[in-house]
Chain A
Amino acid sequence: MRYSGFRILQQALTGQKGWTPAWRNPDPQPHYDYIIVGGGGHGLATAYYLAKQFRQSRIAVLEKGWIGGGNVGRNTTIIRSNYLLDGNEPFYEFSLKLWEGLEQDFNYNAMVSQRGILNLFHSDAQRDAYIRRGNAMRLHGADAELLDRDQIRRDYPFLDFDNARFPIKGGLAQRRGGTVRHDAVAWGYARGADQRGVDIIQNCAVTGLRIEDGRCTGVDTTRGFIGAGKVGVAVAGNSSRVMAMAGMRLPIESHVLQAFVSEGLKPVLPGVITFGAGHFYCSQSDKGGLVFGGDIDGYNSYAQRGNLPVIEDVAEGGMALFPGLGRVRLLRAWGGVMDMSMDGSPIIDRTPVDGLYLNGGWCYGGFKATPASGWCFAHLLATDQPHPTVTAYRLDRFARGLMIDEKGVGAQPNLH
């Protein structure tokens, strides 16, 4: 069923009785050409583009829980392409371009809102670093704009501009950045993939990767063995656990990241703002809640919940930037398990096992990557060649000294 304004009117007049489920609930077949492990944003987008863009068929997505129950439904929904390094910026800009046409492409309202993102700076050195990053972005065709205090004051008059320790000196804005309704991304891709014949199989955990003569021939699951021509793994925080089934150790640690949402308020924050002197970022959802977060907790964790010290740290950052926040009540807090790679950048690559492909290492920033990650992973699965924007995301870059370390902090995941 195609969604449109006309359809809404028609359904309103006929008692809303004609809506059909957005995707089927099929039983697994014995064999597929492509199995995607993980029904998060990346896995569903991969299946969608495999079917739509690369015209492949006989595709299944296997999800151990329900689609959208992982990080794709837990993140703070920010999209942007404000990276510095050559290995990253073209990929994230490709992703931002895909976001711009996504809703028409998959015929689903994902509430893509280009309300802009503003990174504040608080010192001269930080200003210089942001100018450099803005120039790098523009060289790759992205938009970036340096704003001074007065320009920022117009949109954000309530920030603490003259904070004694961290006065706001300006900011780097990317106006095409913004937010997207995260669940709708999973649902839109799922529906689009399903319409093109992809089997989305929920409550089906992969428990083993079957490898014969160095080739992956299928997966053992809680619903039995399923054979496959090619297996693509896109399980985010669980990457190490699934790839261990093929005897691999990944350059990844799993860490917990928390996020918070306040009670609903009238519109106050027009875009996304980030504090440059501590780790705090904030936007306002269309329901009115302030959505904010900060650092990862900093120790290995698969718990999907964090601890109090980080909540305190995030709140302190928020208060330093935005003192009015202290009067707002917190509604909810939650956590998700991040696949923190050793250089803070992702991996989209083949593996030493034939027919087994990996998409992981997204750290705390993989939501914005969802469309391009799906597209590029589908490209790799269908053609066995990397898409031009992901040639740097190799699994062997660590051994070859070709790390993509945006922050320049070395092989220490809790510093990225």
Chain B
Amino acid sequence: MIINHPLLGPCDAQEFTYLGDASLLHRPDGMAEGAEAAFVDYAYPRENPAGLHRELWFHEQGDRSWLVVTRDTVTHEITQVELASDVARREGRSR
């Protein structure tokens, strides 16, 4: 698989490590009411769809950026690649 890095251009997926579903960007607030249940839900169950999947890849052998890759789990086709920091900011996760 080739991941089209937004800054570096096409890179072999071998340069990356894979973390999983991009919902992991939304770490719950540990101090909030019901945090325990929220953390169980965050850590264990997954949508695991057959089809489009937004997922986190880390450019370990490259610029060490985190990316959000949209990939079809049935065909392995990659349709969108974004910097995770951009996605997190857009989704209200980072300052």
A interface residues (Cβ-Cβ under 8 A, vs B): 238, 240-241, 249-254, 298-303, 307, 309, 342, 398-399, 411-414
Contact B44 A303 (CB under 8 A): no
> B residues 58-73 with Cβ under 8 Å of A?
71, 73
The answer for the CA separation of A412 and B13 in the assembled complex, in Å, is 19
With a CB–CB cut-off of 8 A, which chain A residues contact B46? 240, 249-253
Contact A254 B48 (CB under 8 A): yes
Q: A240-B46, A309-B13 are in contact. Are A253 and B20 (CB under 8 A)?
A: yes
In the complex, besides A238-B50, A249-B48, A307-B76, 10 extra interface pairs with C-beta distance below 8 angstroms are: A240-B46, A251-B45, A299-B18, A301-B76, A309-B12, A309-B14, A398-B44, A399-B37, A399-B40, A412-B20
A-B contact pairs, 27 of them (CB 8 A): A240-B47, A240-B49, A241-B50, A249-B47, A249-B48, A250-B46, A251-B46, A252-B46, A252-B48, A253-B20, A253-B21, A253-B48, A298-B18, A299-B13, A300-B20, A300-B21, A300-B48, A300-B53, A301-B73, A302-B74, A303-B73, A309-B12, A398-B44, A411-B43, A411-B44, A412-B20, A414-B20
B interface residues (Cβ-Cβ under 8 A, vs A): 1, 12-14, 18-21, 37, 40, 43-50, 53, 55, 71, 73-76
Out of A240, A250, A303, A412, which one reaches B76, CB within 8 Å?
Answer: A303
The answer for the CA separation of A298 and B19 in the assembled complex, in Å, is 9
Q: A254-B73, A303-B74 are in contact. Are A414 and B44 (CB under 8 A)?
A: no
The answer for the CA separation of A48 and B1 in the assembled complex, in Å, is 42
The answer for the CA separation of A294 and B15 in the assembled complex, in Å, is 19
How many whole Å from B70's CB to the nearest CB in chain A? 12
How many whole Å from B21's CB to the nearest CB in chain A? 8
How many whole Å from A239's CB to the nearest CB in chain B? 8
With a CB–CB cut-off of 8 A, which chain A residues contact B40? 398-399
* Cβ-closest 4 pairs across A and B: A240-B48, A249-B45, A251-B44, A398-B44
Task: Select from chain A the residue with minimum beta-carbon distance to B37.
Answer: A399
With a CB–CB cut-off of 8 A, which chain B residues contact A252? 46, 48
Out of B14, B55, B75, which one reaches A300, CB within 8 Å?
Answer: B55
The answer for the CA separation of A298 and B17 in the assembled complex, in Å, is 9
The answer for the CA separation of A254 and B41 in the assembled complex, in Å, is 18
The answer for the CA separation of A54 and B49 in the assembled complex, in Å, is 36
The answer for the CA separation of A251 and B50 in the assembled complex, in Å, is 15
